Structure 1
Amino acid sequence: MRKMTSVGVKIALALLVGFTVLIEALFVPLGIEQITQVYPETGRVAVPAFVWAVLTLACAQAILVILWRLTALASGDGIFTETAFTWVRAMIGFAYAMAALLAAAWLALAALTWTPPLVMYGLLGAGLLAVAFALVVAVMLGLLRRATALATEMAQVV
């Protein structure tokens, strides 16, 4: 990976991590506070909702940090190592964890019969997107394995 591309990707990842931290620290508490003021019956789920939001955003942050690490590996020849496989498998795990958290929120809201369509469709769409992301990355992991085998074979030939 070219140095300029690597720097650009890292800047974008840093901005995204900063944005998610801002959401966690500012927007989530404010949003929960406003909802509990307008709908006092939601007060009993305010703390679980906050924990859910922080955990979901933490999964996204972990994926962004892993992408940072993989970008650093791709800048050198480290992308064709077992270390890269471990990072990619971790990214897949965090994507599935995020999908599970989104499904849990969908089920919890459905059980409480608090089902505003936009929220339910948003949770469903985000969950499907997380699963699709995990599946794409799993396919890419297979391609990385194949590329690593070919790179190892070429190194032995040369």
Structure 2
Amino acid sequence: MSRTSRLVVPLRVLLAAVLATLVTTQVAALPAILGRTAEQNPDLAPYRWPLLALAVVVLACVQVVLVCTWRLLTMVRDDEIFSERSRRWVDAILAAVGLAWVLVLVACALVAAAEGLSGTAALLLVALLVGAAVGLLMVVLRALLVQATALRTDLDGVI
């Protein structure tokens, strides 16, 4: 068993734990947090439901990334990562990251319109920067996967 194959199980356990935490956050924590925020800050009360909807969809995008990563781990374990099928999973990750980034941008605009430059708006700006970095990193990794797949195909043709 290769070192990479031994890492698949612990990574899957971690992915499952993160997925369970995200579902709990979507169902229980977010509605409660935004409800309290609306009570404490009346300026944000009209934005409670739009922000909740945005947050739930952003977390759903993260869940899509986790599921795609799970599938890519299976492909790594089965030594099928350098294939056209793997690129589709990476493309799905890129789409989810892009959608989440746009939604965080909308949430940032809503919060900035309601409160001005607040701590929440600053936190959302940080999330935008992190999301942009993750998205750009995924673009680079996708390009590397495409190159490695082409090299693997060429090598399989030679052998």
With the length of structure 1 as denominator, give the TM-score of the two structures. 0.92
Mapped contact 2:47–2:110 kept (Cα < 8 A): no
User: Which residue of structure 2 lines up, in the alignment, with residue 84 of structure 1?
Assistant: 86
User: Which residue of structure 2 lines up, in the alignment, with residue 99 of structure 1?
Assistant: 101
Aligned length: 157
Show structure 1 runs of 5+ residues with no match: none
Quick check: 65-74 or 41-50, which moved more? 41-50
Question: Displacement, 1:130?
Answer: 0.9
Instruction: Summarize the alignment of residues 66-81 of structure 1 with structure 2, pairs less than 5 Å apart.
Output: 66-81=68-83
Show structure 2 runs of 5+ residues with no match: none
User: Which residue of structure 2 lines up, in the alignment, with residue 110 of structure 1?
Assistant: 112
User: C-alpha separation between the residues in 1 aligned to 2:61 and 2:86?
Assistant: 19
Which letter maps to 1:103? Answer: L
User: Which residue of structure 2 lines up, in the alignment, with residue 32 of structure 1?
Assistant: 34
User: C-alpha separation between the residues in 1 aligned to 2:50 and 2:122?
Assistant: 20
Which letter maps to 1:118? Answer: G
User: C-alpha separation between the residues in 2 aligned to 1:109 and 1:39?
Assistant: 12
Give yes or no for the alignment of 1:131 onto 2:132.
yes
Question: Displacement, 1:75?
Answer: 0.8
Mapped contact 1:32–1:50 kept (Cα < 8 A): yes
CA shift in 2, pair 1:136/1:102, >3 Å: same
User: C-alpha separation between the residues in 1 aligned to 2:76 and 2:60?
Assistant: 24
Which structure 1 residue ranges, 4+ long, deviate > 3 Å from structure 2?
none
With the length of structure 2 as denominator, give the TM-score of the two structures. 0.92
User: C-alpha separation between the residues in 1 aligned to 2:146 and 2:15?
Assistant: 25
Question: Displacement, 1:116?
Answer: 5.3
Q: Identity of paired residues, percent?
A: 28
User: Which residue of structure 1 lines up, in the alignment, with residue 150 of structure 2?
Assistant: 149
Mapped contact 1:98–1:127 kept (Cα < 8 A): no
